[in-house]
Chain A
Amino acid sequence: MELYDQDRTIAAIATAPGTGGIGIVRISGPKAVEIADAVFRKPSGKKLASAKTHTIHYGHVVDPASDAMIDQVLVMLMRAPHTYTGADTVEIQCHGGPFVEQKILETVVSAGAAPADRGEFSKQAFLNGKMDLSQAEAVMDLIAATSEMSRRASIEQLAGRLAQEIENQCSLLLDLTTLIEANIDYPEYDIEEVTYERLIREVSKVLEGLRELYRTSDSGIRMHQGVKTVILGRPNVGKSSLMNRILGKERAIVTDIAGTTRDVIEENVDLDGVPLRLIDTAGLRQTSDAVEKIGVDLARKAAEGADLVLWILDASVPEDLDSSAEAAEMLDFLKEKQYIILINKNDLTDARVRPAAIPAEAPLLWISARTGDGMQELSAKIREMFFRGAIQADSQPMITNVRQKDALRRALEALESALEAAKSNLPEDVIMIDLTNAYDALGEISGKTLKSDVIDEIFKRFCLGK
């Protein structure tokens, strides 16, 4: 049985995504203070570990590796038990803007915190006796309901199909292990023997099924969390207009003065059924404005962690299309990534000439963020790139969270080891160690363990005993 590890220290951005102003990164768990101390520097050099509970501290969050400053912050230190989660809690109040929050979260995670699952703070609070089950469920329901993605019936159906698919693979494994175990415990009975050929064949079959499932995990997790999409382009090229077009509402401040969008803005959106986690950035342009420069650097960094980069060019500015030096720099930056080049404002010009600087194989679409022209092509393109063509209610089962992916990875490793062992003719009881590990790892997704199932199966299927 895999138990929930209440010794985990978890962290997440506690403020709603996309909102400006102040952002909060919350760390909760037994190591919260230790982890915060690893990334937080007070001007006095004092550590949070020696500070009193329920106090506020000014300082910087730094990258512990380089000591480079990430943001100026206020830190609230709250020790157990008088906290929301009932565990030691540190809240880092940073400058609003999802990218800064994301960067701080990543720093905290690399210092040892686990990224919190959806609703995990409430779960911790429940486990620490801070709320009863119905309260916790209500909070979790609320968290779930505010997420556009999880409201989608298709996601729930995907989860159901996942359980079914795991169940199918488990049942193949159970067939095999029951036969092996019956042979081990009843060596003198006329039970069909398990040959290495059969072991290799059946383990390979399960492996194949699970590998297929594993391949979907990136799509599945994206499906659940959205394709992290960064819109890049020079100032005033129409990034915010595109974002608003996708969002269907006025969100970012849109002006025609270059550089008005300084914050990084993040939104979860649904583009014709394609879930995106959209990050708008300050204009990407060499600039002497120091404040804006930080924004540009952040944008480049944001693009580094993105699944998809949308690079916008302005069709109405011919030099934009011809600026081959910039194009070369951008293309070089993008070559390791998934990207789409969007030529915006096609409503202002009839020209449909592919810029000379853009190579023929680069994905390129003509759009108008203002009129919505080309948006369907955009969603189709993203779908093709990330969801292998289609996201439909009856599509394949998918892994939708990191924990499931991890359990599946362990099952795959165990099965690969079993296959290896079968190929080198190791005894079946030794191979059973791997098969049991695989079954139990899958059980973390489906909620079953092998030991309790296999003995029942042996007597159900075979006529044994004196």
Chain B
Amino acid sequence: MYLEQGVDVAVIGGGHAGCEAALAVARMGLSCIMFAVNLDSIAMMPCNPSIGGTSKGHLVREIDALGGEMGKNIDKTYIQSRMLNTGKGPAVHSLRAQADKFRYKETMKHTLEEQPGLKIRQSEVVDIDLKDGKVQGVITAAGAYYPCKAAVICTGTYLNSVCFHGDFQAKTGPNGMQSASGGLSEALMKKGLPLRRFKTGTPARVDGKTLDFSKMEEQKGDEHIVPFSFENRPEEILRPQRSCYLTYTNEKTHEIIRANLDRSPLFGGVIHGIGPRYCPSIEDKVVRFADKERHQLFLEPEGENTNEYYVQGMSSSLPEDVQRDMLRTIPGMEHVEIMRTGYAIEYDCVDPLELKHTLEIKRFDGLFSAGQFNGSSGYEEAAAQGLIAGINAALKIKGEEPLIIDRSQGYIGVLIDDLVIKGTNEPYRMMTSRAEYRLLLRQDNADLRLTPLGYRVGLIPEARYQALQEKIQQIEEETKRLAQVHVSIGANDLLRSLSSTELNSGTTLAELLKRPEVSYKALAPIDPERPSLPEDVTEQVEIQIRYAGYIEKQNAQVEKYKKLESRRIPENIKYEEIGNLRTEAVQKLSRIRPASVGQASRISGVSPADISVLIIWLEKNRH
């Protein structure tokens, strides 16, 4: 073993979590080194070639609002952009972009390379040096010792990973990359950290030259695009877009799958890891939804300079020949050639109940973790955690208050709180249905919600923060103005043209804006005094006025939630000494150690009666 130069923070892994963690640490002015088993795998997208989508798009906007990189990187490398759910309310509008995978990772790697204070190193970390439970340094497979004050584990699906399709098994990481099996898992377990095994999978990549798109339904990108990053304007990032294509499986496809189930490692019992319900393999779908006549497939381009297409909806670990045969039953894919076989992957990860909300591992001082190692799934979920773990590692070294985003502030808060308080038995995917205060956590207001926090920790530059302050002021002033501008029945011509009920007496512009069929833009003819404002300002004004009643309802819920969150539980509490708590509650509470009564109330296995007992005990001991 030899000694290398020390750093403040070592980031273990260069995936989506590792990139955000490393950039955050370096941008907060600390020295950082990021390790990857292969530098070509930095920011690699080994599964779908897209960023965002429902709730995941929210995460990316939030990452950007806090000063993270993912939004900027996809804005530079997207090849199709769509806003989903536009037929529904603003809370669930979700941005999704198809990425040029190759340019995505190359661009991100270069951003990392250019970042002052950040070193990148191709090396596998195999051990973490702890003294009295506190991080001292990390040790690589080649025997280098890097002293550090904190470390962030972002090993994704690489730890002791095994890939499967049919009888074939290989001890590789995703996309044929080298697996991280040099001993980090064993070292962590030896130090007392319990690890477990999760499973996920990916479909085949096929040669676009062998596809007949005329038999499929084309899906184009949006004409008017919305950038992921609040710092970008649409016109600045416009570029030609590529299409995706929709097709369907049929009974023939299902027959082939059913006939070969015994050759699937999933059904044959070879894979023991727990797979996600929302990312079922096609064999899973056919078995669990036997009466469904067809399943949707999307053919998505993997990049600009490649013929590879990703077959979304056909994740599988069936043998190669079965994958080929089943794909060839699908309209437009009769002559398909597989370029990369679909596979299932199993890997080591931690039970996130071992973590604090800061993403620090409770039992190891200075050791943080993020991404799929924490039991989540998805690039966006990983990046969000990486950013928070990186920020908190840096804040800890600086001796500053940690950054914890709560459930009413962002999807990031919901994601982390769900992981560390509720835990998960499958790779955790973000969903809008997981957020209680969805109408407040819109993708359009992520900057209003989180940029002040990014500014506080030092990731948002002064100019961007000042611009936000100006935006907030403009929103307030315009909202106030609309409530004061009176409208007479002279507006009826306009209302008639909008198929809106005519007025009997005067009202205000704000009142008219509450009608679903009346938009801010449409009111321009009867609003001569209207100031010229940016679209992102008028969008906020419109949403805040239109949904004021429901926003109020959600604010009331948040108030209730915050009341319980603010009842702190002392860190040294001994649950076994509280009479009347049920044994299961004592066990769960002792393990998870919630910081507040609110957190405690979300733990499964802790009943309302237990919470009542806990509240009483806290009250008694406060005096």
Please list the residues of chain A having a beta carbon within 8 angstroms of any beta carbon in chain B.
Answer: 1-4, 6, 81, 126-129, 132-133, 181, 183-190, 424-430, 432-434, 436-437, 451, 454-455, 458-459, 463-466
Besides A183-B88, A451-B436, A466-B312, 18 more A-B contacts (Cβ < 8 Å) are: A3-B601, A3-B608, A127-B612, A127-B613, A127-B616, A129-B579, A132-B579, A132-B580, A184-B92, A187-B84, A187-B85, A187-B88, A426-B516, A429-B92, A429-B439, A437-B553, A465-B276, A466-B315
Q: Do A463 and B553 form a contact, CB below 8 Å, given A1-B601, A6-B616?
A: no
Residue B288 is within 8 A (CB to CB) of chain A in the complex: yes
Contact A430 B550 (CB under 8 A): yes
Contact A463 B279 (CB under 8 A): no
Nearest residue (CB) in B for A458 is B433
Interface code B150-167, partner A: CB below 8 Å = 1, 0 otherwise? 000000000000000000
B90 neighbours in A (Cβ, 8 Å): 427
Q: How far is the CA of A181 from the CA of B612 in the complex (A)?
A: 32
Enumerate 19 A-B pairs (CB-CB under 8 Å) in ascending A order. A4-B612, A81-B620, A127-B613, A127-B615, A185-B431, A187-B54, A188-B298, A189-B296, A426-B516, A426-B550, A427-B92, A428-B89, A430-B439, A432-B438, A436-B436, A451-B433, A463-B285, A465-B276, A465-B279
Contact A181 B433 (CB under 8 A): yes
Residue B503 is within 8 A (CB to CB) of chain A in the complex: no
Contact B278 A465 (CB under 8 A): yes
Restricting to B287-306, which residues have a CB under 8 Å from any CB of A? 288-289, 292, 295-296, 298
Residue B280 is within 8 A (CB to CB) of chain A in the complex: yes
Indicate which residue in B48, B88, B564, B613 contacts A429 across the interface (CB closer than 8 Å). B88
B611 neighbours in A (Cβ, 8 Å): 1, 3
Contact A429 B89 (CB under 8 A): yes
Contact B88 A184 (CB under 8 A): yes
B88 neighbours in A (Cβ, 8 Å): 183-184, 187, 427-429
Nearest residue (CB) in B for A426 is B516
Contact B85 A184 (CB under 8 A): yes
Please list the residues of chain B having a beta carbon within 8 angstroms of any beta carbon in chain A.
Answer: 47-48, 54-55, 84-85, 88-92, 94, 203, 276-280, 285, 288-289, 292, 295-296, 298, 312-313, 315, 431-434, 436, 438-439, 516, 547, 550, 553-554, 564, 579-580, 601, 608-609, 611-613, 615-617, 619-620
Nearest residue (CB) in A for B597 is A3
Contact B92 A459 (CB under 8 A): no
4 nearest CB pairs, A to B: A427-B89, A459-B277, A463-B289, A465-B278
Contact A129 B285 (CB under 8 A): no
A133 neighbours in B (Cβ, 8 Å): 580
Nearest residue (CB) in A for B609 is A4
Chain A's nearest CB lies how many Å from the CB of B424? 11
Q: Do A129 and B620 form a contact, CB below 8 Å, given A185-B54, A429-B88?
A: yes
Indicate which residue in A2, A3, A184, A433 contacts B554 across the interface (CB closer than 8 Å). A433
Q: Do A459 and B84 form a contact, CB below 8 Å, given A129-B580, A129-B617?
A: no
Indicate which residue in A187, A426, A434, A463 contacts B89 across the interface (CB closer than 8 Å). A426
Q: How far is the CA of A266 from the CA of B92 in the complex (A)?
A: 59
Q: How far is the CA of A455 from the CA of B425 in the complex (A)?
A: 14
Residue in A1, A437, A454, A465 whose Cβ sees the most chain B Cβ within 10 Å: A465
Nearest residue (CB) in A for B438 is A429
Indicate which residue in A430, A436, A464, A466 contacts B547 across the interface (CB closer than 8 Å). A430
B432 neighbours in A (Cβ, 8 Å): 181, 184-185, 429
Chain B's nearest CB lies how many Å from the CB of A89? 16
Nearest residue (CB) in A for B619 is A6
Nearest residue (CB) in B for A4 is B612
Contact A184 B609 (CB under 8 A): no
Q: How far is the CA of A466 from the CA of B88 in the complex (A)?
A: 22
Contact B280 A463 (CB under 8 A): yes
Q: How far is the CA of A3 from the CA of B292 in the complex (A)?
A: 42
A465 neighbours in B (Cβ, 8 Å): 276-280
Contact A126 B580 (CB under 8 A): yes
Q: How far is the CA of A424 from the CA of B546 in the complex (A)?
A: 12
Q: Do A430 and B285 form a contact, CB below 8 Å, given A6-B615, A463-B280?
A: no
Nearest residue (CB) in A for B278 is A465
Between A and B, how many residue pairs show CB distances below 8 Å?
120
Q: How far is the CA of A455 from the CA of B256 in the complex (A)?
A: 31
Q: How far is the CA of A427 from the CA of B547 in the complex (A)?
A: 10
Contact B436 A425 (CB under 8 A): no
Contact A430 B89 (CB under 8 A): yes
Q: How far is the CA of A122 from the CA of B94 in the complex (A)?
A: 51
Indicate which residue in A188, A429, A463 contacts B292 across the interface (CB closer than 8 Å). A463
Q: How far is the CA of A443 from the CA of B351 in the complex (A)?
A: 30
Contact B433 A454 (CB under 8 A): yes
Contact B279 A185 (CB under 8 A): no
A181 neighbours in B (Cβ, 8 Å): 432-433
Indicate which residue in B277, B292, B516 contacts A425 across the interface (CB closer than 8 Å). B516
Chain A's nearest CB lies how many Å from the CB of B213? 18
B616 neighbours in A (Cβ, 8 Å): 6, 127-129
Contact B295 A463 (CB under 8 A): yes
Contact A433 B296 (CB under 8 A): no
Q: Do A466 and B313 form a contact, CB below 8 Å, given A6-B615, A132-B579, A187-B85?
A: yes
Chain A's nearest CB lies how many Å from the CB of B448? 19
Q: How far is the CA of A3 from the CA of B607 in the complex (A)?
A: 9
Indicate which residue in B55, B312, B580, B608 contacts A2 across the interface (CB closer than 8 Å). B608
Contact A4 B89 (CB under 8 A): no
Nearest residue (CB) in A for B94 is A187
Chain B's nearest CB lies how many Å from the CB of A57? 25
Q: How far is the CA of A6 from the CA of B616 in the complex (A)?
A: 8
Q: How far is the CA of A6 from the CA of B279 in the complex (A)?
A: 44
A184 neighbours in B (Cβ, 8 Å): 54, 85, 88, 92, 432-433
A81 neighbours in B (Cβ, 8 Å): 620
Nearest residue (CB) in A for B613 is A127
Q: How far is the CA of A81 from the CA of B623 in the complex (A)?
A: 11
B276 neighbours in A (Cβ, 8 Å): 465
B615 neighbours in A (Cβ, 8 Å): 3, 6, 127
Chain A's nearest CB lies how many Å from the CB of B426? 10
Q: How far is the CA of A430 from the CA of B553 in the complex (A)?
A: 11
A189 neighbours in B (Cβ, 8 Å): 296
A436 neighbours in B (Cβ, 8 Å): 436
Nearest residue (CB) in A for B313 is A466
Q: How far is the CA of A463 from the CA of B615 in the complex (A)?
A: 42
Q: Do A188 and B516 form a contact, CB below 8 Å, given A3-B611, A428-B89, A433-B439?
A: no
Residue in B54, B92, B579 whose Cβ sees the most chain A Cβ within 10 Å: B92
Contact B434 A429 (CB under 8 A): no
Chain A's nearest CB lies how many Å from the CB of B50? 10
Nearest residue (CB) in A for B426 is A459
Chain A's nearest CB lies how many Å from the CB of B246? 8
Nearest residue (CB) in A for B436 is A451
Chain B's nearest CB lies how many Å from the CB of A99? 35
B312 neighbours in A (Cβ, 8 Å): 466
B564 neighbours in A (Cβ, 8 Å): 3
Q: How far is the CA of A429 from the CA of B551 in the complex (A)?
A: 12
Q: How far is the CA of A402 from the CA of B85 in the complex (A)?
A: 42
Chain B's nearest CB lies how many Å from the CB of A249? 40
Chain A's nearest CB lies how many Å from the CB of B575? 15
Q: How far is the CA of A186 from the CA of B203 in the complex (A)?
A: 19
Chain B's nearest CB lies how many Å from the CB of A420? 10
Contact A455 B579 (CB under 8 A): no
B85 neighbours in A (Cβ, 8 Å): 184, 187
Q: How far is the CA of A127 from the CA of B581 in the complex (A)?
A: 10
Contact A455 B434 (CB under 8 A): yes
Indicate which residue in B54, B203, B278, B612 contacts A459 across the interface (CB closer than 8 Å). B278
Q: How far is the CA of A129 from the CA of B580 in the complex (A)?
A: 8
B580 neighbours in A (Cβ, 8 Å): 126, 129, 132-133
A127 neighbours in B (Cβ, 8 Å): 612-613, 615-616
Contact A463 B601 (CB under 8 A): no
B296 neighbours in A (Cβ, 8 Å): 188-190
Chain A's nearest CB lies how many Å from the CB of B310? 9
Q: How far is the CA of A132 from the CA of B579 in the complex (A)?
A: 8
Q: How far is the CA of A186 from the CA of B296 in the complex (A)?
A: 12
Q: How far is the CA of A465 from the CA of B277 in the complex (A)?
A: 8
